[in-house]
Amino acid sequence: MQLATLYKEHIILLKIHYENTLNILKEKGLALDAILIHSGSESYYFADDNHIAFRSVPHFTHWLPLEGPDHFLLFQPGKNLRLFRYVPKDFWYEIPKDNLNHYLDQFELIEVNKVSQVQNYLPNLSKTAYIGNNPKLVQEWGVSEDLVQPKMLMARLDFARAKKTPYEVACLKLANERASHGHRRAMEGFNNGLSERHIHRDYLNAIDATEYETPYTNIVALNEKASVLHYQQKRGNEATFGNLLLIDAGAKTFGYCSDITRTYLRQGADPLFEELLNKMEILQKALVAKVKVGLSYIEIHRSTHQGVAEILSDLGLIKLSAAEIFERQFTHPFFPHGIGHLLGIQVHDVSGHVADEEGTPAPPPAEYPFLRFTRNIEKGQVFTIEPGFYFIPMLLEPYRNSSDQALFDWKTIDRLTPLGGIRIEDNIHVTDEGPENLTRAVL
């Protein structure tokens, strides 16, 4: 089905959800006639006139992929959607050109040259909620403070975003396909002995994007830097011909993000590490296969720790059975992060820690504090599955100096530590038939 057709259906579904939400809120005592959604205002670096790279408010992007600050969308039940597109008269910067045609006919379009002009077209704001990053602006227009991101409204809108429409899934597929070109180029660069910085440049060229246009700052880690979970630096020629590359990098398409990680080992670098990498690849695929409607995502995370325990035992890195390793939580220093997170307009998409539309908290279990998603798996959700296995000296040091130190094969651990670690990450769409792997379909 063409993207334009899917988009029209997406808009219909969003309208229905927003109208139903307003009806429910009215029954709960919050009567709203309209919702004003702001793409956001630009901000500046401290004591500077240089803008911080702008990213649209996600709830605006949920409706349409129009980039840039100070656009507004007005939603009123039973009325046409009104889009106020901000086109300033500015000789300092190029005015962005909008060449995306699949969404324009869904809105009553009004162009303004000044942000203040938007106020002239708005209804009575006493019953209008505002979603955006500039409350002061709309409060001057007449929106009351208690209608700026009201919690009851935001909880329902955020919770619903976990389940993607067919249009959103199509955009996420395109984002995965775009990122796949960069990952293939990165692997080629690694095989040719390029530095982190040059691999990063090749990745950006392959997806035809600047760094500001990627969903997050790419992780391009050679050797020991693969053990830094959010490694941000990009070393130049001082770090070439690495034996291992961990690249965590995505792409955006129509505002939707992919988030993909691959780990590559140079042939002959270390036979045991190669075996470890192969076992992690098998584990990752097995975890994806476990995904099904109704299962708690926490169970996927728990299965990951059980799988890492089996690997630690099989390779002799800890001299205990897998069951004992899991029970004593010896997997935690080797796999310290969560198995994944919701994915969509934001890389770490919203509502991962709530149990229902009311926003009831659903925090991660005490033993898994970094798990970003605790809900049950539902049809339409898109999330990542990204098991890792790392040699992080900071996390291993307490065990080296504990009464359990003899249980660890420190000689082998120290041999593998310079290779950093492993992470393998795919983007998964949940269907009634099981998991749809958006990443391996293209990479």
Write a three-state SS string for the chain.
CCHHHHHHHHHHHHHHHHHHHHHHHHHCCCCCCEEEEECCCCCECCCCCCECCCCCCHHHHCCCCCCCCCCEEEECCCCCCEEEEECCCCCCCCCCCCCCCCCHHHCEEEEECCHHHHHHHCCCHHHEEEECCCHHHHHHHCCCHHHECCHHHHHHHHHHCCECCHHHHHHHHHHHHHHHHHHHHHHHHHHCCCCHHHHHHHHHHHHCCCHHHCCCCCEEEEHHHHHCCCCCCCCCCCCCCCCEEEEEECCEECCEECCEEEEEECCCCCHHHHHHHHHHHHHHHHHHHHCCCCCEHHHHHHHHHHHHHHHHHHCCCECCCHHHHHHCCCCCCCCCCCCCCECCCCCCCCCCCECCCCCCECCCCCCCCCCCCCCECCCCEEEEECCEEECCHHHHHHHHCCCCHHHECHHHHHHHHHHCEEECEEEEEEECCEEEECCCCCC
What homologous superfamily does CATH list for 166-437? Creatinase/methionine aminopeptidase superfamily (3.90.230.10)
CB–CB of 385/303 below 8 Å? no
Comma-separated ranges of CATH 3.90.230.10 domains in the chain: 166-437
pLDDT in tens, the chain (443 residues): 799 999 999 999 999 999 999 999 999 999 999 999 999 999 999 999 999 999 999 999 999 999 999 999 999 999 999 999 999 988 887 776 666 667 878 999 999 999 999 999 999 999 999 999 999 999 999 999 999 999 999 999 999 999 999 999 999 999 999 999 999 999 999 999 999 999 999 999 999 999 999 999 999 999 999 999 999 999 998 767 899 999 999 999 999 999 999 999 999 999 999 999 999 999 999 999 999 999 999 999 999 999 999 999 999 999 999 999 999 999 999 999 999 999 999 999 999 999 999 999 999 999 999 999 999 999 999 999 999 999 999 999 999 999 999 999 999 999 999 999 999 999 999 999 999 999 999 99
CB–CB of 438/173 below 8 Å? yes
Comma-separated ranges of CATH 3.40.350.10 domains in the chain: 3-160
pTM for the full predicted model: 0.97
Place of tokens 């999330």: 383
- CATH dotted code for 3-160: 3.40.350.10
